[in-house]
Structure 1
């Protein structure tokens, strides 16, 4: 796996875990959520995948302008 691919997967994991932390905070504050536990896991997986794809597509633009 390339370093860029590994980085994108790690960013995806960070995005998914951040969503789950925010969802847990909403549960602790008694905010009614429209989905259950499995729904939250599905949303987190989809969000993590989206973050990973976006990170892979734009990372080269954010690191070292003018470098290959």
Structure 2
């Protein structure tokens, strides 16, 4: 399994578990929003969508970030080392 696929699957697992945590937290504070079965099905859909999005976008975001760092010529904060 390649690193891109592994990363996407891990992001999918994060999305899956985050949704379940939010549903459980809501049920503890207010009242159950969905049944356990409905929550599981929705969590699988959220995890699948998260994994697909991560697979499709992660390499593009990484390339954009690398270009942005490479294009920086001025130090952060705008203070230059030259003295007048």
TM-score by length of 2: 0.72
The CA deviation string for residues 19-56 of structure 1, in whole angstroms up to 9 with x for no partner, is 001001001112341x2001000000000000000000
Q: Which has the higher contact order (CA 8 A, sep 6+)?
A: 1
In structure 2, runs of 5+ residues without a counterpart are 68-84
CA distance in 1, matches of 2:32, 2:39: 13
CA distance in 2, matches of 1:20, 1:29: 14
Report the structure number with the largest CA radius of gyration.
2
Q: Give the 3-state SS of the residue equivalent to 1:64 in structure 2.
A: helix
Q: How many residues align?
A: 66
Instruction: Output the aligned Cα RMSD.
Output: 1.6
Q: Which runs of 4+ in 1 moved over 2 A?
A: 64-67
Residue matched to 1:55? 54
The CA deviation string for residues 1-35 of structure 1, in whole angstroms up to 9 with x for no partner, is 110000000000000100001001001112341x2
In structure 1, runs of 5+ residues without a counterpart are none
